[in-house]
Amino acid sequence: MKIFIKTYGCQMNLRDSEATAGELNKLGHEIVYDENEADVFIFNTCSVREKAELKAVGKIGILKKLKKKKPNLIIGIMGCMAQNKGEELLKELPHVNFVVGTGQLHKVPELITNIIEERDKKRKQNIAKGLDESFGVGFDEASEEILQNAKNGERRMPRADIQEVLLENDEDVLESLNSHFDDTNSAISAFVAVTRGCNRFCSYCIVPYVRGREISRTIEDVVNEVTELTVNGIKEVMLLGQNVAAFGLKGDTKAPAPENSPFADLLTELCKIDKLKRIRFVSPYPSYFNEKLINVLAKEEKICHNIHLPFQSGSDRVLKAMNRQYTAEQYKNIIDKIKTAVPDVTFSTDIIVGFPGETDEDFAKTREVFNYVGFDNAYIFKYSPREGTKAAELTDLMVSEEVKEERNQILLNDLTKITEQNNADLCGSVVEILVEGASKRNSERWSGRTSTNKVVIFPPTDGVDVGDIVNVKIDKSSSMSLFGKVVF
């Protein structure tokens, strides 16, 4: 079968899609990137903001037309929205075959095999009964009547022939999502999920509800996966977890003592893998970024000097309402400690503007921290109420869309100014990069990345290949990139 996978949302979702693609590929299926070729559509969905859900539902809805033309299509929804909405999705999208939640992702390949087998069986039965071979294949035969109605102008969609909803929380997902899939043969970087789920329950966030309780893999299991990746040419890994620094803490929601960081132990072990050149990770919860982790960051050269540290708000009042367990002062303290230990470190962050009750004064405090840190990148989100979360109940305090947009723009402008300056400061210097190769649009522009996560553009150079670590002298900069030439 030719399978098209569309992914919405975060890196964890990208990782899940890639693992699913790997498993499907092992079974002999082909992963395609052109929708027109697809026999199977899989949507790996996100629920973190309403917009992400609406986008996916819209896209899947559009496939109704195609399904009428090609009844054999298999359409499935997996991931966070599948978990969040469950069976309800089949009412709105009756042409869908399966809805698979976050605890059952590993079952997707098996589900597809079952559908194929069931349909083959059906075809054979139809032939034996002297019926049209395709009767009841693709669409439920019981809804033939509806199909007929549709032909007569009634707009109800017939149901898909086989429908499955799998939503239980199954910890097997942790060990069964280890395969990787890259058919470009030039990948040098890979995602590796080290924890799944989240126990923090920030008051705005749906993740703990849709991804379940936090579970960690073992150090040995992660080291094995990364070692195997490096054998296949991977030079850099991005470790993933909703609160990645909670790795190995058995779900404890109290910030660990300064000397306790199983995540730091994991990093130390990974650094011993010879062929691995760089390690990145997202996202550590600020108060888990303790002394032990900072010391390992300072000591181990393979750990990249770019830390994504979500701070969400700079107002203590808002942080408290968000159930974030730190103050703006404590956040700045952690940043200062990391800067002292690793002077060239850069930071990126997540921020929510327009959390219920956020005043101009609260926002001013966010802006103050934002400029204090001098972030190199920031994901700024307009607060989106998510049903079932504590913050969604604060209906009297909702901030208007206009105000959210205004605050969003202010921070984006600040960000451009900061990054323009940070990058201009690097003009004239020599930086070390891991070469990623030619840009898709222009083969005359090669790019690479510094340990501090800055994109460096340079002309193709004899003797310089993808995956190499080289030095580049910077002669120009913008808010997005640095430009220069390789120096030997």
| Minimum CB–partner distance for residue 356 and ligand SF4 (Å) | 16
* 243 sits near ligand SF4 (criterion: CB under 6 A): yes
CA geometry: angle 124, 125, 130, nearest 5 deg: 100
* 208 sits near ligand SF4 (criterion: CB under 6 A): yes
Q: Which of 24, 99, 194, 198 binds ligand SF4 (CB under 6 A)?
A: 198
* 390 sits near ligand SF4 (criterion: CB under 6 A): no
* Cβ atoms of residues 167 and 214 within 8 Å: no
Q: What sign for the dihedral angle of Cα 293, 294, 297, 298?
A: negative
Contact window for ligand 5AD (CB under 6 A) among 21-29, 112-120, 289-297, 376-384: 376-384
| Minimum CB–partner distance for residue 9 and ligand SF4 (Å) | 12
| Minimum CB–partner distance for residue 198 and ligand SF4 (Å) | 3
Longest CA span, the chain? 79
* Cβ atoms of residues 77 and 97 within 8 Å: no
| Minimum CB–partner distance for residue 12 and ligand 5AD (Å) | 10
Contact window for ligand SF4 (CB under 6 A) among 185-193, 196-204, 329-337, 453-461: 196-204
For residue 290, give the 3-state DSSP assignment.
coil
CA distance 215 to 179: 18
What does 192 interact with, of ligand SF4, ligand 5AD, none (CB < 5 to 8 A by kind)?
none
Q: Which single residue is written with the structure tokens 């098996």?
A: 110
CA distance 438 to 206: 38
Q: Which of 8, 41, 98, 285 binds ligand SF4 (CB under 6 A)?
A: 285
Kindly state the tokens that stand for 424. 């201009």
- Residues in 383-402 that interact with ligand 5AD by CB under 6 A: 383-384, 386
Return the percent helix, strand and coil in the chain, to nearest 5. Answer: 40, 20, 40
Nearer to ligand 5AD, 63 or 80 (CB): 80
What does 49 interact with, of ligand 5AD, ligand SF4, none (CB < 5 to 8 A by kind)?
ligand 5AD
| Minimum CB–partner distance for residue 154 and ligand SF4 (Å) | 43
Pairing mode, strands 278-282 and 306-308: unpaired
* 391 sits near ligand SF4 (criterion: CB under 6 A): no
What does 448 interact with, of ligand 5AD, ligand SF4, none (CB < 5 to 8 A by kind)?
none
Pairing mode, strands 195-196 and 215-216: antiparallel
* 204 sits near ligand 5AD (criterion: CB under 6 A): yes
| String of contacts with ligand SF4 for each residue 145-184, x by CB under 6 A | ----------------------------------------
Q: Which single residue is written with the structure tokens 């367990």?
A: 325
What does 200 interact with, of ligand SF4, ligand 5AD, none (CB < 5 to 8 A by kind)?
ligand SF4
Kindly state the tokens that stand for 164. 């499955």
State the number of CA atoms in the 13 A half-sphere of 14 facing the CB: 11
What does 384 interact with, of ligand SF4, ligand 5AD, none (CB < 5 to 8 A by kind)?
ligand 5AD
Pairing mode, strands 189-193 and 215-216: unpaired
For residue 284, give the 3-state DSSP assignment.
coil
| Minimum CB–partner distance for residue 44 and ligand 5AD (Å) | 16
What does 320-380 look like in DSSP terms, one character per residue?
HHTT-SS-HHHHHHHHHHHHHHSTT-EEEEEEEES-TT--HHHHHHHHHHHHHHT-SEEEE
Burial level of 170, CB count in 10 A (0-12/13-18/19+)?
middle
Number of residues that bind ligand SF4 (CB under 6 A): 10
* 209 sits near ligand SF4 (criterion: CB under 6 A): no
Nearer to ligand SF4, 190 or 198 (CB): 198
| String of contacts with ligand SF4 for each residue 97-136, x by CB under 6 A | ----------------------------------------
Who's near 388: CB < 8 A, 6+ residues apart?
206, 209
Task: Report which residue type is found at 56.
Answer: A
458: closest CA among 479, 431, 423?
431
Q: Which of 48, 56, 418, 434 binds ligand 5AD (CB under 6 A)?
A: 48
What does 383 interact with, of ligand 5AD, ligand SF4, none (CB < 5 to 8 A by kind)?
ligand 5AD
- Residues in 301-330 that interact with ligand 5AD by CB under 6 A: 310, 312
* Cβ atoms of residues 420 and 435 within 8 Å: no
DSSP 8-state code for residue 139 = B
According to DSSP, the residues that pair with 350 across neighbouring strands are 379
For residue 169, give the 3-state DSSP assignment.
coil
Contact window for ligand 5AD (CB under 6 A) among 166-174, 187-195, 225-233, 381-389: 381-389
| Minimum CB–partner distance for residue 167 and ligand 5AD (Å) | 21
* 207 sits near ligand SF4 (criterion: CB under 6 A): yes
Residues that bind ligand SF4 (CB under 6 A): 198, 200-202, 205, 207-208, 242-243, 285
Residues that bind ligand 5AD (CB under 6 A): 48-49, 204-205, 310, 312, 350, 352, 381, 383-384, 386
